[in-house]
Amino acid sequence: MTPRPRRFALAALLGLLLPLQAAAYSQNRVATDEAGHPVRIQGSVVVVEPDIELSLVTAGGMREPRREWSETARREFPAAVGRFLAEGNTERKPDFDIPDDLPPRSRLGQVVRLNEAVATSIAMYSRAGSQLATKGTQLDWTLGPGVQELQAATGADYALFTYIRDSYASEGRKAMRVLGFIVGAAMGGVMDIGGGQQLGVATLVDLRTGQVVWFNLISNQSGDLRDAEGAENSVREMLLGLPL
């Protein structure tokens, strides 16, 4: 898998998440059925190639992408997702790798871009004080019947989409943070200039109807996708509340 350019909808979502850096944050939601009960997965799941980028935070606060780290995470994260689904006795179809040359205007390309846009909207309009009058607190979003194109390509009943940006403080940045805390304490306050951060969003979409049946958004200053153990821990946080 090759690195992908950051797409517009994802960039907007990450911009939304950045202010959450100061504390751990999770926005886990499950859709309900006609009777008002939380839905449960009934069928197989395909893991769509995750959009993951890892970077190093320099002393000056710039984020420098690290290709080797990202490639490791793109291997370890889906493997950990597979183990998580197996624990819930959920059937998993072979992972779907998005073709590097997939035309954005193709039907599959439109499904991927639409999911990004819908995930961004859920994140923006599901927070307290930002709910849409037509949605309220319900997870009532859909990608429409076009998702059946992905169902035909994978044979799955549900698709799991994930977008993650993970960053790690360099030694210079760590030193700057220590200095900031010292200065803040001397001034009688707190000065946290920020270090690494893990940001992620995940959606589970019913490929038979287009309904988004589960959504989660996380922001943490901990988490590490650079090895199998770290990926395992990150997956359990990322998929917390998945309706298995």
pTM: 0.82
What gap in Å lies between CA 69 and CA 66, rounded to an integer?
Answer: 5
How far, in Å, are 39, 81, 92 from residue 78 at the CA level? 24, 5, 11
- Identify the pLDDT of residue 189: 55
Closest by alpha carbon to 21, among 190, 188, 203, 222?
A: 222
The yes-or-no verdict on residue 231 having pLDDT over 50 is yes
Q: Is the dihedral of CA 112, 102, 200, 7 positive or negative?
A: negative
Q: Looking at this protein, which amino acid is placed at residue 166? A: D
Structure tokens at 101: 């040359």
- Identify the pLDDT of residue 108: 85
Q: Are strands 51-57 and 198-206 parallel, antiparallel or unpaired?
A: unpaired
Q: Per residue in 21-75, pLDDT tens?
A: 445 667 888 999 888 899 999 999 999 999 999 988 876 667 789 999 999 999 9
> Which residues, 6 or more positions from 38, have their beta carbon under 8 angstroms from its beta carbon?
30, 31, 32, 243
Q: Looking at this protein, which amino acid is placed at residue 68? A: E
Question: DSSP characters for 38-73?
Answer: BP---S-EEEE--EEEEEEE-TTS-EEE-HHHHHHH
Closest by alpha carbon to 88, among 150, 45, 47, 50?
A: 45
Share of residues in the chain with pLDDT > 70 (%): 72
Helix 228-238 with 67-87: angle, nearest 10 deg? 60
**Highest averaged pLDDT of the listed ranges 15-29, 76-90, 122-136:** 76-90
Structure tokens at 29: 């939601």
Residue 85: Cβ within 10 Å count: 21
CA 220-90-198 angle, to 5 degrees, is 10
Q: Per residue in 154-206, pLDDT tens?
A: 999 999 999 998 888 755 544 544 444 444 455 555 444 455 678 889 999 99
Cα 42 from chain centroid?
22
Beta strand spans in the chain (E): 25-26, 29-30, 45-48, 51-57, 63-65, 92-96, 158-169, 198-206, 212-220
Question: DSSP characters for 102-131?
Answer: --TTSHHHHHHHHHHHHHHHHHHHSSTT--
